[in-house]
């Protein structure tokens, strides 16, 4: 009889935790869908080849939603083997998030190098029509930047001889003509001077510690769920033996 209040308390805590875990999965799923629909062109500038990052988020979010519901069901049923299975899944999620966080932090310089290579290639082969070119235009317009390091990056592109610097570099589109953008003397006074590579990488460096901290925080929160599930499973099993 003395264990019933403990079991009730653990069940309540684990159900609340499972609900929060379920919300985390829903957020990952939403971010994955949003990333696929809205950030596809930008992601192509960061990776050498097509990346599966949005699909990984969608898949991970879906699995977490399913197991979050499973955790609630296992807790309500009070089934020891279901609770152990739930704890095992949480341990796998914990390890996966820990590895992802460490890898992202350790290989951040490699990510910067890949971005520099792919973005430089997109600038040099810019044609204003393909997906990479549209991504470059959107990036330059929204970040108010021009070229890799500055506007001179465009002078070596295949686009410059006939069209000049892209209009997305102009800080005032109403006062920026093709003739101005083809003129190496006038163009500098019409376009943004800061390069996009510096802006993007400085943002990455500034926020990498925050991103890593959030990732590790979420990962270690899984240990709470593992502890609750294991404790509840053990107490329920012990209580069943006592009743026998």
Pairwise pLDDT comparison (218 vs 85), residue with the higher score: 85
Pairwise pLDDT comparison (75 vs 217), residue with the higher score: 75
CATH of the domain at 159: 1.10.1450.10
In-domain check, residue 124: yes
Q: Average pLDDT over the chain, rounded to whole? A: 81
In-domain check, residue 160: yes
CA 95 to CA 220: how far, in whole Å? 9
Tally of domains within the chain: 1
8, burial (CB in 10 Å: exposed 0-12, middle 13-18, buried 19+):
exposed
Residues 219 and 90 sit within 8 Å (Cβ to Cβ): no
In-domain check, residue 197: yes
| Per-residue pLDDT at 242 | 44
Q: With pLDDT > 70 as the criterion, what percentage of the chain qualifies?
A: 85
pLDDT digits (tens, 9 = 90+) for 81-137: 888 898 898 888 888 777 776 776 676 677 778 888 888 998 999 988 888 888 899
* Helix spans in 125-195 (H): 131-143, 160-163, 178-182
Over residues 128-150, mean pLDDT: 87
In-domain check, residue 38: no
In-domain check, residue 145: yes
pLDDT digits (tens, 9 = 90+) for 175-194: 888 888 888 888 888 899 88
């Amino acid at each position: 009889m003395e264990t019933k209040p403990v079991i009730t308390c653990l069940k309540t805590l684990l159900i609340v935790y499972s609900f929060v875990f379920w919300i985390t999965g829903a957020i990952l799923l939403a971010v994955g869908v949003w990333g696929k629909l809205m950030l596809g062109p930008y992601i192509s500038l960061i990776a050498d080849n097509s990346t599966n990052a949005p699909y990984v988020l969608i898949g991970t979010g879906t699995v977490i939603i399913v197991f979050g519901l499973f955790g609630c069901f296992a807790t309500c049923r009070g089934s020891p083997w279901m609770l152990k299975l739930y704890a095992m899944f949480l341990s796998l999620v914990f390890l996966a998030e820990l590895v992802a966080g460490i890898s992202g932090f350790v290989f951040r310089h490699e990510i910067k190098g890949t971005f520099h290579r792919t973005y430089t290639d997109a600038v040099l082969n810019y044609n204003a029509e393909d997906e990479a070119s549209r991504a470059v235009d959107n990036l330059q317009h929204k970040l108010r930047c021009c070229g890799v390091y500055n506007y001179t990056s465009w002078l070596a592109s295949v686009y410059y001889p006939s069209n000049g610097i892209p209009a997305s570099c102009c800080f005032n589109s109403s006062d920026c003509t093709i003739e101005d953008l083809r003129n190496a003397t006038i163009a500098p006074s019409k376009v943004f001077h800061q390069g996009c590579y510096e802006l993007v990488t400085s943002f990455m460096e500034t926020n990498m510690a925050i991103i890593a901290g959030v990732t590790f925080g979420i990962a270690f929160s899984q240990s709470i769920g593992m502890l609750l599930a294991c404790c509840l499973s053990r107490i329920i099993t012990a209580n069943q033996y006592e009743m026998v």
